[in-house]
Chains A and B, each alone.
Chain A
Amino acid sequence: MSGTDHHDRPALLEAQALAFARNDEPIFGPLDFALHAGEVVLIEGDNGAGKSTLLRVLSGLLAPSSGEIRLHGEPLTLARLSPQVALLSHQGGLKPELTALENLRFAAGLHGQRAGMSAGTALAGVGLEGYADVPTRQLSAGQKKRVVLARVLLAPVGLWLLDEPYANLDLDGIKLVNRLLERHANGGGAALITSHGAYAYTSGTPRRIPLQAHSASRTADTGAIDGAAAR
């Protein structure tokens, strides 16, 4: 899929005036953006800016307070969305008592698996060849993250929603994530990733969506501190 025909077709994922509020307190938005096939877009924002919430809204776990999400140009429903999206969230969704391979086999049974890939090859793809039979409880935080990445890699979907994919990873791991993202985008997939700015997507210059902390009181506070620092 070439990168030039983006705008002839409806975007893979499109948000229009998307906003989410919890108990009438706005968390993010209103937000407009479009994500096309072959694109990796970075959502940037400070802690508490609503990055994770945005991904949960886009994955269909939370309903937006206002605005619209379109998938291939049509309004989003969970039934249409779930076969096309893989979510990497903070908790990961791994069972600590099960081995890495058992966790991935369960995911493959539940979500299906990419053609030509198996739980074993997905594990090898994230550099965990020797760890197939180790209970995930005994893996380090970075290794757990790699297992979760293997699950995302294994899922037969076009859209990746990755919440802090770089967290807990060593330099090799960060390179691995970038490599996986690049390959996914070149294969016609798309990804939305969040980052609080400490690490960045390094291949090319991805489009960035800035998110700002929304609460008026919080903005006033930081303003006061900035003002104090300036004086």
Chain B
Amino acid sequence: MKPGSLPAACAALMRRDLTLVWRRRGDALNPILFALIVVALFPLGVGPEPEQLRRMSAGVIFVAILLAGLLALDTLFRSDYEDGSLEQLVLSRHPLSLLLGCRIAVHWLTTALPLIIVAPLLGELLHLADAVRWVMVCALLLSTPLLSLLGAVCVALTVGMHRSGMLLALLVLPLYVPVLIFGAGACNAAQMGLPYAAPLLWLGAALVMALVVAPLACAAALRISLS
């Protein structure tokens, strides 16, 4: 790869981001611990009856993973904005949306994918039915990239503001509602023995659309934040 070409730029960016995650690998565990604690709170709050927990398990796990993702969102562009490397990305000769797409992909790989891997374990904590487990993993595989992409647009809009954490949550959570409805809906349908393909297909369609539109929106929002 010739230095400065588009593939080289994307590879350099992804290598940098993975190195940064590795250097801060202690932080990388935090979303998993957070989701684990949130899920563990529910049996304490609503009582340990397996039947009751099983009914709500998929929804609880979805909400826990969604909130863990929300907390991890702030790291997406914040440090890049503060140390000036965002300027360098904007000034590069390559399409900003593609570079941001790479950045979001690494962010998903390092924050959401570990959560998906522990999701079956979280299911065990709440007596999730065996039949639902793999539907849940599929639903998470489709919905977490969607959450990352939607969240990235909101982070890009708020990154120029100080202490924007609460504002970010208020912007992002309403956008997450449809994803939650379809994702948890697929799991609930599977639990009741109903067909669950339709909500998964909706999630897939939304993901394809977000993959195309969100990086462009992110790039436009970041340019505004920088000016």
Contacts and interface: CB of A to CB of B under 8 A. Distances in A.
Contact of B84 (A90, A109, A113): A90
A85 B12 CA distance: 20
Contacts of A91: 82-84, 87
A165 B138 CA distance: 52
B24 interface: yes
A90 B24 CA distance: 25
Interface centre among B4, B13, B91, by most A CB within 10 Å? B91
A60 interface: yes
B16 A95 contact: yes
Nearest to A113: B3
Interface in A39-91: 59-63, 79, 82-83, 85, 87, 89-91
Contacts of A90: 84
Contacts of B20: 95, 97-98
A92 B85 CA distance: 7
Interface in B95-110: none
A17 to B, nearest CB: 20
Nearest to B1: A109
Contacts of A63: 227
A138 to B, nearest CB: 13
Contacts of A106: 12-13, 15-16
A137 to B, nearest CB: 10
Which secondary structure characterizes the binding site on chain A? Answer: loop
Contacts of A156: 4
Contacts of A111: 4, 88, 92-93
Given A61-B227, A91-B84, A112 B91 contact: no
Contacts of B3: 108-109, 112-113
Contacts of A95: 16, 20, 79, 83, 85
B98 to A, nearest CB: 12
Nearest to A79: B93
A110 B11 CA distance: 9
Nearest to A94: B83
B12 A61 contact: no
A32 B54 CA distance: 72
A96 B79 CA distance: 10
Nearest to A92: B84
> Which bucket holds chain B's interface residue count?
20 to 34
A147 interface: no
B90 interface: yes
* Residue with the greatest number of chain B CB neighbours at <10 A, chosen from A91, A92, A107, A110: A110
Contact of A113 (B4, B13, B88): B4
B11 to A, nearest CB: 7
Contacts of B12: 105-106, 108-110
A102 interface: yes
A192 to B, nearest CB: 15
A93 interface: yes
Nearest to A119: B3
Interface string B71-90: 00000000100111101111
B35 interface: no
B91 A87 contact: yes
Contacts of A112: 2-5
A89 B8 CA distance: 24
Nearest to B4: A112
A91 to B, nearest CB: 3
Interface of A: 59-63, 79, 82-83, 85, 87, 89-98, 102, 105-113, 156
List of 7 A-B pairs having minimum Cβ-Cβ separation, nearest first: A112-B4, A109-B12, A91-B84, A93-B84, A97-B23, A83-B93, A93-B85
25 contacts: A60-B91, A61-B226, A61-B227, A62-B227, A63-B227, A91-B83, A91-B87, A93-B84, A93-B85, A95-B20, A95-B79, A96-B83, A97-B19, A98-B19, A98-B20, A102-B19, A106-B12, A108-B4, A108-B12, A109-B3, A109-B4, A109-B13, A112-B4, A113-B3, A156-B4
